Structures are given as C-alpha cells and as structure tokens.
C-alpha cells in the first residue's frame, strides 16, 4: 500500500503536543483562498519552479521535452495538464542541477514514513511529541493513513492528525480511533462564507466534529480558526464559532491563528495567482478580535 505525500517536516512545535514530525499528504477537498500549502491541493505529482535557484542552463528544455518546458520573459513554463509519474519525478530531480525545477509529491510505504519519523524518537520521549499527519487532507487517503497510524501506535509513537473534517463520517471515525490528538480548523460559522472562500459548505465538517466529540469524549481536540482579513475578521462571526466550540465540551480547546502570507511564494512557484493579494491583518486588530472572543460570557 502506498500513500502520496509532498513533505516530511522535522522538529515542528505547532502541530500537536511536544516536538512533532509532520507528514504532509497530497490532495484536499477544499480550495481555501489563503491556503499556505497550494501544492497540497491536488493529488497528482506536480512541477514547481523557484526563480531564485534557476541558473538558466536550459537543461530542462533540452532534456524534458515531453513535459513541455519552455522559457518566457518572466520565467519557466511547462504543460500544467501532464500527469507526472514517479519516474518523471526522478528524471526532473536528476536533470535540473540546482533543483530549481522540482517535482512535488512522491509515493511512500508505511515503513518508509516511519523510518524517517523514528529518526526523531529521542525528541518525542523528552517532549511528549510524535507524528502528526497533515496536508492537504489525510482522510482522502484513509486506508494508508489508518495503516500508518496503527503501526505508529504499535511502536508507541504518539499520533496526531490535522484535518479539514470533510469526509464521510465512517472514514473519520475509523481514523480517529487510532489518534491520541486531533487538530481541526473551524474556519467559519456562516455556511455562505465558508462556501465562498473554500469552495465547499461547512455542514458536513461541523456535523462530523460534533459526532467525533461525542464518540471519543477523552480524545484531546484542538480547534483552530485562522483569522483572515476580509473573510472572517468579524466579531459576530468569531463569536459564533467560539460559542459553538464551547458547546462541544470534553477535552476541547480553541485558538485563533493570525493570518500570514508565508505560502505566497509557493503560488508563484506553481504559476498560480494568490487570491488574497496583499491583504493584511494588523497585530492590533488581531489582538482586539482575540480579546473579544476570550471575554465572551461562559
């Protein structure tokens, strides 16, 4: 059984308790306008290009003709519709001397992932950390993910997952039964806003969250709301989310995340437009909104 990932990140401290090794899966059902990992959205292996690392040798043009590589005044382009194979990805890695042109996505086995994860095992023991599955959306590859989590559990590795929650409930429940910690976004309360800015309504997401909370009352859940300028940076919207989260009870925590544009260069690498442009959220406004929801009556 193979899973398709695009990165394994070591020494993360923002994706669950302790020091974590984060495995990023390819494929996501949402298209959030502010997504920091646009390379995660589609399941297929993609090409990316970093202008600053390109030396203009044109090895890609001369040796990767089938990919349609060609230069224009503003950089390197290729056939966006091509379905890259694992062999294509290896060829790209071999041909571009600086890896300015690179393949995004690779197929891995459970053992390959855990071999990489266990390099950090000493840090888990000291910090209470472990493995976190993220994306993209891990639930889109639920059979592989379930096998990975079960094997990690057998090896006594703490297991967390970050998910959109958009899945058939039966799939979510099966995967959640293998978790020690769950992270999930509650991006918006308004169904209309959620569909406008992510491409999908939030009915199933909120229903799944309520069901998972009832089914696993002892599972620690951290819910996060990214505060996005012009989208949900509104006291009424954030207050509604906070009241909903409080109604869940159990071991449920909630935090607001301040908007950032760290993923913007990735859009340029993929020749995609970043929909939010130069939108900004000031520290002062974020603190005011955070204080607003913190001060809501219990």
What the chain holds in terms of domains, given with CATH numbers, is 9-42+107-294 (3.20.20.70), 46-104 (3.30.70.20)
Residue 120 is predicted with a pLDDT of 94
- Taking 50 as the pLDDT cut, the residues of the chain under it are none
3-state secondary structure of 238: helix
Is 172 within 8 Å of 122 (Cβ atoms)? no
Residue 205 is predicted with a pLDDT of 98
Tens-digit pLDDT profile for residues 62-86: 999 889 999 998 899 999 888 899 9
Q: Are strands 130-134 and 181-185 parallel, antiparallel or unpaired?
A: unpaired
Partnered with residue 134 across adjacent β-strands are: 24
Residue 83 is predicted with a pLDDT of 86
Strands (E), the chain: 3-12, 20-25, 46-49, 70-72, 75-77, 101-104, 106-108, 130-134, 158-163, 181-185, 221-227, 252-258
Residue 73 is predicted with a pLDDT of 85
pTM summary value: 0.95
- Cβ neighbours of 245 (radius 10 Å): 20
């Amino acid at each position: 059984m193979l899973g398709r990932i695009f990165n394994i990140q070591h020494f993360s401290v923002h994706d669950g308790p302790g020091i974590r090794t984060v495995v990023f899966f390819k494929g996501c059902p949402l298209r959030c306008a502010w997504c920091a990992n646009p390379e995660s959205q589609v399941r297929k292996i993609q090409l990316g290009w970093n202008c600053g690392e390109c030396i203009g040798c044109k090895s890609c043009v001369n040796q990767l003709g089938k990919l349609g590589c060609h230069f224009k005044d503003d950089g390197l382009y290729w056939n966006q519709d091509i379905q890259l194979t694992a062999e294509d990805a290896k060829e790209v890695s071999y041909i571009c001397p600086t890896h300015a042109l690179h393949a995004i996505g690779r197929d891995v086995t459970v053992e390959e992932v855990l071999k990489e994860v266990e390099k950090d095992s000493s840090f888990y023991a000291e910090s209470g950390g472990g493995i976190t599955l993220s994306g993209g959306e891990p639930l889109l590859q639920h059979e592989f993910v379930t096998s990975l989590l079960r094997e990690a559990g057998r090896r006594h590795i703490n297991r967390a997952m970050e998910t959109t929650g958009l899945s058939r409930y039966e799939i979510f429940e099966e995967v959640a039964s293998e978790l020690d910690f769950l992270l999930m976004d509650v991006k918006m309360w308004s169904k209309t806003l959620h569909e406008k800015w992510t491409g999908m309504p939030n009915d199933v997401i909120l229903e799944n969250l309520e069901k998972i909370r009832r089914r696993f009352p002892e599972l620690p859940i951290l819910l996060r709301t990214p505060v996005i300028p012009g989208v949900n940076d509104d006291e009424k919207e954030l207050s509604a989310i906070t009241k909903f989260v409080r109604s869940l009870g159990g071991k449920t925590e909630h935090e607001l995340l301040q908007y950032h544009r760290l993923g913007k260069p990735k859009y340029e690498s993929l020749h995609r437009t970043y929909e939010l442009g130069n939108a900004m959220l000031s520290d002062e406004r974020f603190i005011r909104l955070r204080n607003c929801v913190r001060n809501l009556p219990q």
